[in-house]
C-alpha cells in the first residue's frame, strides 16, 4: 500500500506545470469568496498544484486580513518554494489632481514587492464611469507613463491590466491605451478573460501587442447570453480549458517571443473549491500547453 501511495504521489508531482520559461501563478482574491483560512493554506494549494506565484490583491489591507507582516509572508512562501510576484494596483489615474498621490502609492507597492524579489506591477484602469469626463483617457495614459517611469527607476516593469467595467475594456480602448503610452515606460499585462468578454480576439490581441507583454492573466471565460453591457459577472469565468479562449493559440504567441515571465490563473470562481479548480487547471496546462511551450 505504501508503494502504491508513493507511486501515485510521484505521478501527481510529475504532472505539475513545468514552471520553466513560463511560470504559473494564481491570485489571492479567489479566497475572499470562501470562509477565511490561514494564509498558509493558500500557499499550500499553490505548492501542491504547481501554481507557485501569487498576485496579491487588496494591498496593503491583505496583511491585516491575514494578520501577517511582509517578513512573515516572505518566510512562509519561501518554505514552500512559492513567490509573491505582483500586486493588483488600481489607482485613480484619471484624476490629474491626485497624480502625486498615485505615483507615491505605486512606489510604496513596489517597495513592498521588492522584498520578495518581484519586478512587475500590474496596473488597472479606473472605473468606467470615470472615463466619461473630458480628457480622462489622456490623463490616465499620462499617469501610466509616470507610473512606468517610476517602475523603471526601481528596476520594475509596469503594464496595463484590462478589465470589464473599467476605462480600458474594448479592443479599441486597449489599442488606444497602447498607442497613447510609451512602450519604453509602460507595457501590457492583459487578462485573457476580460479581453474575451470585452469583445477582443484574444490571440490576435496578444499577437498585436506581444512586444509589450510583461506578465498576463491566463483566465478562461464564456460570454453569457444575457450579460449586461460594461459589467462583469464572475459566473462567466471557468477553470482553465473549460471556456471559449484559444489558449494553445495564445501559447504559440508566447513561444514566438520566448516569453519568460508569469502567467496568473486568477480565478474569480471555483465551483468545487480552490484546490479542485487549480488541480483541474494544472492538468490542462500539463496536457495542452506545456507541450507547446514551457
Domain that holds residue 87: 18-289
- SS3 of 215, please? coil
Residue 12 lies in a domain: no
Q: Are 268 and 227 in contact (CB under 8 A)?
A: no
Cα–Cα nearest to 90, from 66, 60, 117: 60
pLDDT tens track for 100-135: 999 999 999 999 999 999 999 999 999 999 988 899
> Using an 8 Å Cβ cutoff, are 216 and 192 in contact?
yes
**Domain count along the chain:** 1
User: Confidence class of residue 261 from pLDDT cuts 50, 70 and 90?
Assistant: very high
Q: Please indicate, yes or no, if residue 270 is contained in any of the structural domains.
A: yes
Q: What is the CATH number of the domain that holds 283?
A: 3.20.20.150
3: in domain:
no
240 is a domain residue: yes
In the block, cell 510529475 appears at: 14
> Can you tell me the distance from the alpha carbon of 195 to that of 174, in angstroms, rounded to the nearest whole number?
9
Query: Burial of 15 by CB count in 10 Å (0-12 exposed, 13-18 middle, 19+ buried)?
Result: middle
Q: In this structure, is residue 193 part of a structural domain?
A: yes
What angle do helix axes 99-114 and 136-153 make, rounded to 10 degrees? 40
Question: Residue 57: inside a domain, yes or no?
Answer: yes
19: pLDDT strictly greater than 60 = yes
Closest CA to 162 of 110, 115, 111, 216: 216
Alpha helices per DSSP H over 182-246: 192-197, 202-208
Over the stretch 262-274, which tens digit does the pLDDT of each residue have? 999 999 999 999 9
Separation between Cα atoms, residue 257 and residue 211, nearest integer Å = 8
- Residues 189 and 2: their CA atoms lie apart, in Å, by 45
Confidence of residue 7 (pLDDT cuts 50, 70, 90): very low
Q: Does residue 272 fall inside a structural domain?
A: yes
- Residues 19 and 261: their CA atoms lie apart, in Å, by 10
Q: Which residue has the higher pLDDT, 132 or 154?
A: 154
Neighbour-count burial for 20-32, b at 16+ CB within 10 Å, e otherwise: eebbbbbbbbbbe
Q: Is position 246 within any domain?
A: yes
3-state secondary structure of 236: helix
The distance of Cα 39 from the centroid of its chain, to the nearest Å, equals 19
Amino acid at each position: 500500500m505504501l508503494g502504491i501511495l508513493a507511486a501515485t504521489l510521484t505521478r501527481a508531482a510529475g504532472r505539475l506545470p513545468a514552471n520553466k520559461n513560463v511560470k504559473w501563478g494564481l491570485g489571492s482574491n479567489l479566497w475572499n469568496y470562501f470562509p477565511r483560512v490561514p494564509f498558509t493554506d493558500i500557499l499550500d494549494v499553490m505548492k501542491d498544484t504547481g501554481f507557485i506565484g501569487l498576485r496579491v490583491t487588496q494591498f496593503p489591507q491583505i496583511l491585516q486580513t491575514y494578520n501577517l507582516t511582509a517578513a512573515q509572508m516572505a518566510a512562509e512562501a519561501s518554505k514552500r518554494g512559492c513567490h509573491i510576484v505582483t500586486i493588483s494596483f488600481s489607482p485613480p489615474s484619471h484624476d490629474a489632481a491626485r497624480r502625486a498621490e498615485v505615483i507615491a502609492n505605486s512606489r510604496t507597492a513596489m517597495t513592498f514587492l521588492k522584498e520578495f524579489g518581484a519586478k512587475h506591477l500590474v496596473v488597472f484602469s479606473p472605473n468606467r464611469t470615470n472615463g466619461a469626463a473630458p480628457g480622462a483617457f489622456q490623463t490616465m495614459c499620462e499617469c501610466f507613463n509616470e507610473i512606468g517611469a517610476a517602475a523603471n527607476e526601481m528596476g520594475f516593469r509596469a503594464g496595463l491590466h484590462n478589465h470589464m467595467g473599467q476605462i480600458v475594456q474594448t479592443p479599441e480602448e486597449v489599442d488606444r491605451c497602447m498607442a497613447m503610452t510609451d512602450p519604453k515606460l509602460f507595457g501590457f499585462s492583459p487578462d485573457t478573460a476580460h479581453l474575451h468578454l470585452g469583445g477582443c480576439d484574444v490571440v490576435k490581441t496578444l499577437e498585436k501587442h506581444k512586444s509589450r507583454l510583461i506578465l498576463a492573466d491566463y483566465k478562461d471565460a464564456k460570454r453569457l447570453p444575457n450579460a449586461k453591457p460594461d459589467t462583469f459577472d464572475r459566473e462567466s469565468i471557468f477553470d482553465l480549458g473549460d471556456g471559449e479562449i484559444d489558449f494553445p493559440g495564445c501559447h504559440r504567441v508566447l513561444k514566438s517571443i520566448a516569453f519568460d515571465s508569469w502567467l496568473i490563473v486568477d480565478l474569480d470562481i471555483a465551483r468545487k473549491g480552490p484546490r479542485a479548480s487549480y488541480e483541474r487547471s494544472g492538468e490542462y496546462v500539463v496536457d495542452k500547453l506545456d507541450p507547446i511551450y514551457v
